[in-house]
Amino acid sequence: MKTFRYVAFAALLLNLSVQTTAQLRVTDSLQYGVQKVYPFLSVAKADITQLQNLRGLDTLMQNIRLEYSHDWIKEYVSVEISGWIDGQLRSELNESNDKLSPKQRDLLKNSDHGSEITVVVKYLPKNNLKENQVHELNFSFSFEPESDATFPGGLAKLMDYLREMVIDKLALNTYQGYDLSTIRFTVDADGTVINPHVFGDGYSDRPPPEVQALLLEAIKAMPCWQPAQYADGSLVAQDFAFNVGNMSNCVVNLLNIKREEN
């Protein structure tokens, strides 16, 4: 969700005639916006439900930097997939090769929205050892909703709201260097904004607490969103981060967001 834009200082000068002396300007390089926070590992369900064997998960495993390659494997011992269907935990085991069984593919296809899928692979590695021991690899992932949560009126209205409630009220020198403020929040399955809180507050003395409070109040005052939705119409909660300042700050690496170029 590409939601960042830069504040143009020249454009702000045009607004000075309607501002009181208590209202201050914003730097011409201030960056702000809201981005989706991704689970540690999430994938589109359509990319997974068509899998025929474990090799189809290569890209998924590379994304979490697993030190694993099919070229290292002499023999698969077993592949176990576990997940939740209708609130019940199910596990399906294949003890012959890396080919997914019909039951395993069915589990992937029908797993509960928002639940976690766990894959456990046991294998014999290729080596020259006389006693070749079984190795184990395991990882988990969840499925992304097909439609993300959206602010009423869309992206343009969201940016207008943030400018009015926060950006136009900030002093010119509020953010300097690598200063960054982040407010994490959740859009619940009914569209309500819940659990807004300052993220990474202990990493920097700037900006001052009153600025953090301004950002926090703006998120708390947001109207209801259109919640995230799966293809079958099921609604789900989704996490977001409201960022103001320098996106090169190292705290951004802890947010698990996707930074996109303008």
In the DSSP assignment, the letter for residue 206 is: -
Q: Where do the domains of the chain lie?
A: 5-40+147-254, 42-144
Task: Please give the mean pLDDT across all residues of the chain.
Answer: 78
Q: What was the pLDDT predicted at 56?
A: 67
Which of 47, 30, 22, 34 shows the shortest CA–CA distance to 260? 34
Cβ–Cβ < 8 Å for 136, 121: yes
Cβ–Cβ < 8 Å for 185, 196: yes
Tell me the range of 26-30, 69-73, 175-179, 235-239 where mean pLDDT is highest: 235-239
Q: Whole-angstrom Cα distance, residue 45 to residue 84? A: 14
Is 166 exposed, middle or buried (CB count within 10 Å of its CB: 0-12, 13-18, 19+)?
Answer: buried
Q: What was the pLDDT predicted at 23?
A: 28
Q: What was the pLDDT predicted at 8?
A: 34
Q: What was the pLDDT predicted at 26?
A: 41
> When comparing pLDDT for 159 and 130, which is higher?
159
Q: What was the pLDDT predicted at 20?
A: 28
Say whether 175 sits in a helix, a strand or coil: coil
Q: What was the pLDDT predicted at 91?
A: 95
Confidence of residue 161 (pLDDT cuts 50, 70, 90): very high
Average confidence (pLDDT) over 120-125: 90
Would the pLDDT of 179 be above 60? Answer: yes
Would the pLDDT of 1 be above 70? Answer: no
Question: Of the given ranges (79-93, 150-164, 194-208), which has the lowest mean pLDDT?
Answer: 194-208
Would the pLDDT of 157 be above 60? Answer: yes
Which residues lie closer than 8 Å to 234 by C-beta, 6 or more apart? 113
Cβ–Cβ < 8 Å for 6, 262: yes
